[in-house]
Structure formats: structure tokens, C-alpha cells
């Protein structure tokens, strides 16, 4: 009887932890998807104002995604594409987010000057910061 109760308790605890990790990765994925959408808006924008709004959103999301509460230790694997290598190389992972934040901040500042062409040129540099992290810390699509 005791063993059954303990087993039930442990199973309950485990599923709570799994559910939490899953919802965290859903939050992350949602933010990444919105970031992808705003990248598309910038690349297709036909006026500086639209590009500026998307650049501001990108910068906000880059900051949000960098918060460590979205990346608790070993919240990779399972349904997420986050590799567990992230938590073996946390300083490097953080540095890559810092590069992203610098790139989106720079983009936002250029976009605020109101020249669409310059904004789209600055935008092209951002793709590299996305790829440099994905190559190391994101596993292929499941
Ligand atoms: C510091 C690392 C890092 C940077 C920088 C980064 N990503 Fe990601 N990205 C990840 C990781 C890790 C995942 C997997 C997250 C998960 O599944 O929990 C991911 C997932 C994604 C996804 C997949 C969401 C889905 O549908 O599964 C998209 C889209 C994405 N990133 C877009 C971007 C774009 C666009 C940029 C640049 C503007 C970017 N990322 C920059 C690490 C990064």
C-alpha cells in the first residue's frame, strides 16, 4: 500500500515536471515563431514604418528569449528541439543570445532613421546570428 502511494506520488511529480518543461518549450517556440514572422515582414516591407514596427517587435522578443527562466537546466529533448548541449555550454549559448540582442538593437536604431533600404541591409546581418546558434544548439526537425 505504502509503495503504491509513493509510486503514485512520484508519477504525479514526474508528469508535472514534464508538463512544465513542455509548456516552457512551447513558450520558447511561440516566441521564435513570432520572431520568424517579423523577419519575413521586414524582408517584404515596402515602407520604413512597417519595417520599424517589426524591428521593434524583433528586439523585444530577442530580449524575452534571452531570459534564463525560459531555459531551465536540461529543458531540452522530448518534444523540443533544444539540444542538451546548451546546458553544457551555457556561457557560449548566452553569448550567442547577446549577439542576437545586439543585432536586433542595431536594426531597431537603423530602422528608426526611416530609410527602408538601410533597414533591410542591416536586417540581412541578423540571419547569421540565428544560424550560428541553431547550427550548434538546435536539433533537426522531428
Ligand atoms: C542563442 C541561440 C539561438 C538564437 C540566437 C536563435 N535561435 Fe531560434 N532556436 C534556438 C533553439 C535552441 C530552438 C529550439 C527551441 C525548442 O524547441 O525548445 C530554436 C527554435 C527556433 C524556431 C523553431 C520553432 C518551431 O516551430 O519549432 C524558429 C522558427 C527559430 N528558432 C527562429 C529563429 C530566428 C529567426 C532567429 C534569429 C532572429 C533565431 N531563431 C535565433 C536557438 C536560437
Nearest-atom number in ligand 1 for the CA of 24 is 18
| 17 pLDDT more than 80 | no
Pocket lining: 59 vs ligand 1, CB cutoff 6 Å: no
Q: How large is the average pLDDT for residues 42-66?
A: 97
Rg, the chain, Cα only: 19
What is the whole-number distance in angstroms between the Cα of residue 12 and the centre of ligand 1?
A: 30
What is the whole-number distance in angstroms between the Cα of residue 122 and the centre of ligand 1?
A: 20
In this prediction, residue 18 carries a pLDDT of 55
| 3 pLDDT more than 80 | no
| 13 pLDDT more than 50 | no
In this prediction, residue 34 carries a pLDDT of 96
Q: Is 23 exposed, middle or buried (0-12, 13-18, 19+ CB in 10 A)?
A: exposed
According to CATH, what is the number of the domain 2-137?
1.20.120.10
CB burial readout 74-88, b (16+ within 10 A) else e: ebbeeebbbbeebbe
Among protein residues, the one with the nearest Cα to ligand 1's atom 41 is 130
Residue whose CB lies within 8 A of the most ligand 1 atoms, among 65, 126, 138, for a mutation test: 138
Cα separation, 46 vs 56, whole angstroms: 17
Mean pLDDT of the chain: 87
pTM equals: 0.85
Name the residue ranges covered by the structural domains of the chain. Answer: 2-137
Among protein residues, the one with the nearest Cα to ligand 1's atom 36 is 130
- Share above pLDDT 70 across residues of the chain, in percent, rounded to a whole number: 82
Note the pLDDT tens digit of each residue in 91-116: 999 999 999 999 999 999 999 999 99
Amino acid at each position: 500500500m505504502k509503495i503504491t502511494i509513493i509510486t503514485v506520488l512520484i508519477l504525479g511529480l514526474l508528469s508535472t515536471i514534464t508538463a512544465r518543461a513542455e509548456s516552457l518549450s512551447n513558450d520558447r517556440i511561440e516566441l521564435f515563431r513570432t520572431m520568424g514572422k517579423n523577419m519575413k515582414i521586414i524582408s517584404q516591407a515596402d515602407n520604413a514604418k512597417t519595417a520599424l514596427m517589426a524591428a521593434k517587435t524583433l528586439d523585444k522578443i530577442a530580449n524575452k528569449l534571452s531570459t534564463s527562466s525560459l531555459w531551465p537546466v536540461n529543458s531540452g529533448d522530448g518534444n523540443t528541439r533544444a539540444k542538451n548541449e546548451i546546458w553544457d555550454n551555457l556561457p557560449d549559448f548566452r553569448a550567442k543570445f547577446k549577439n542576437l540582442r545586439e543585432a536586433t538593437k542595431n536594426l531597431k536604431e537603423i530602422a528608426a532613421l526611416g530609410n527602408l533600404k538601410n533597414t533591410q541591409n542591416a536586417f540581412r546581418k541578423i540571419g547569421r546570428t540565428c544560424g550560428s546558434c541553431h547550427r550548434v544548439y538546435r536539433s533537426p526537425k522531428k
